[in-house]
């Protein structure tokens, strides 16, 4: 039976084994998928051990996505631009890395009938979560992509990777920007902190997407709702869609995601 796993530190919270288990069942793949905690100072050693034990592929989560990038012999275009890898494939003695977060985001937006093509998009945050999705978003040809961050220089350094396609600004400058879609990729809500953004960026038709999710409406989506937005989407679907893309890369079969998303949603409530 082919073996796959997800590594991170911490890892107990990971829903990936449940998601991949459901995908494998649905597509009748003879595989197993587990989660493994690895030491923060021995990523390379741990991965080498997994490779020698015959593991076929690994999902990588925080805080190892940059180290996974460094370890790869070959990278997909999205992973190369992101500087981060969440999917490792071992084949013919080489390590190939991809980043499926952006495809996960785009596909979840499509599930909600939201297309990025021709739209003005604001991406909040300039950390790993933000960097990981920019290339896939640009591939959809939005009219405009602005990265807004508390520390503007971090947003600028991502924008510099995509000359003429991405601009950067401070969070306060959002007051002057008209956006069709606002995506939260900051960790403010996760850390219980508030995100200091002008409420006039939100209108009834503004689509608000939060890469995080929870049992209750996230702090970002609550703020957007209180500021007048009616279209609120959390990141649970993105989690399942990025997993589906990894599964497809490994197994060559596209699992369906809607049932898995509803099942996870039910388990959370």
**Which two structure tokens, joined as six digits, stand for 65?**
């996505």
- Candidate residues 22, 129, 169, 244; the one interacting with ligand ATR per rule CB under 6 A: 129
Helix (H), strand (E) at residue 103:
helix 101-111
By CB under 6 A, tell whether 178 contacts ligand ATR.
no
Biggest CA-to-CA distance, the chain: 56
Least Cβ distance, residue 191 to ligand ATR (angstroms) = 6
Tokens matching residue 46: 């741990």
Stretch that binds ligand ATR, among 50-58, 181-189, 237-245, 247-255 (CB under 6 A): 181-189
Q: Are 263 and 22 in contact (CB under 8 A)?
A: yes
Does residue 65 have an active-site annotation? yes
The residues near 16 (Cβ < 8 Å, ≥ 6 apart) are 6, 33, 35, 59, 61, 243
Site string for ligand ATR, 193-212 (x = CB under 6 A): x-x-----------------
Q: Contact with ligand ATR (CB under 6 A): which of 150, 157, 248, 263? A: 150
CA atoms within 13 A on the CB side of 63: 4
- Residue 177, CA distances (Å) to 20, 125, 151, 174 in order: 40, 16, 18, 5
Query: Catalytic pick from 65, 81, 119, 131?
Result: 65
Contact between 235 and ligand ATR (CB under 6 A)?
Answer: no
Q: How many residues bind ligand ATR (CB under 6 A)?
A: 16
Which residue is nearest to ligand ATR, using beta carbons? Answer: 127
- Rounded to a whole number of angstroms, the minimum distance from the CB of residue 195 to ligand ATR is 5
Residue 72 near residue 98 (C-beta atoms within 8 A): no
Task: Determine which residue in the list 47, 88, 126, 137 makes contact with ligand ATR, applying CB under 6 A.
Answer: 126
Q: How far is the CB of 259 from ligand ATR (least distance, A)?
A: 28
Closer by beta carbon to ligand ATR, 31 or else 243:
243
Whether 211 has a binding-site annotation, put simply, is yes
CB atoms within 10 A of CB 265: 15
Q: Report yes or no: 123 and 147 within 8 Å, Cβ to Cβ.
A: yes
Q: Is 186 in the site for ligand ATR (CB under 6 A)?
A: yes
Please state at what angle helix 236-251 crosses helix 258-268, rounded to 10 degrees.
Answer: 140
- Determine which residue in the list 25, 49, 151, 256 makes contact with ligand ATR, applying CB under 6 A: 151
CB 158 within 8 A of CB 169: no
Annotated binding residue 126: yes
Annotated binding site for NADP(+): 77, 125-129, 211, 235
Annotated binding site: 14-16, 61, 77, 86, 101, 125-129, 211, 213, 235, 242
Chain residues in the site for ligand ATR (CB under 6 A)? 125-130, 149-151, 154, 186-188, 191, 193, 195
Which residues belong to the active site?
65
């Amino acid at each position: 039976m082919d073996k796959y796993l997800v590594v991170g530190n911490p890892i107990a919270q990971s829903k990936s084994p449940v998601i991949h288990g459901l995908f494998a069942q649905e597509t009748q793949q003879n595989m197993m998928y587990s989660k493994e905690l690895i030491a923060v100072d021995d990523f390379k050693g741990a991965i080498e051990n997994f490779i020698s034990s015959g593991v076929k592929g690994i999902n990588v989560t925080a805080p190892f996505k940059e180290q996974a990038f460094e370890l790869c012999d070959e990278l997909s275009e999205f992973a190369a631009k992101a500087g981060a890898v969440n999917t490792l494939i071992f084949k013919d003695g080489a390590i190939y890395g991809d980043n499926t977060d952006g495809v996960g985001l785009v596909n979840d937006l499509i599930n909600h009938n939201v297309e990025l093509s021709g739209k003005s998009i604001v991406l909040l945050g300039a950390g790993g979560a933000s960097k990981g999705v920019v290339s896939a978003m640009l591939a959809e040809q939005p009219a405009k992509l602005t990265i807004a961050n508390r520390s503007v220089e971090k947003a600028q350094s991502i924008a510099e990777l995509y000359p003429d396609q991405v601009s950067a600004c401070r969070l306060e400058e959002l007051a002057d920007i008209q956006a069709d879609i606002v995506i939260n990729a900051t960790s403010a809500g996760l850390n219980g902190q508030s995100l200091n953004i002008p409420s006039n960026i939100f209108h009834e038709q503004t689509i608000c997407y939060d890469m995080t999710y929870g049992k209750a409406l996230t702090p970002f989506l609550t703020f957007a709702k209180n500021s007048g937005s009616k279209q609120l989407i959390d990141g649970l679907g993105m989690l399942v869609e990025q997993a589906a893309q990894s599964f497809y890369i490994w197994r060559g079969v596209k699992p369906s995601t809607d049932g898995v998303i509803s099942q996870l949603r039910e388990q959370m409530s």
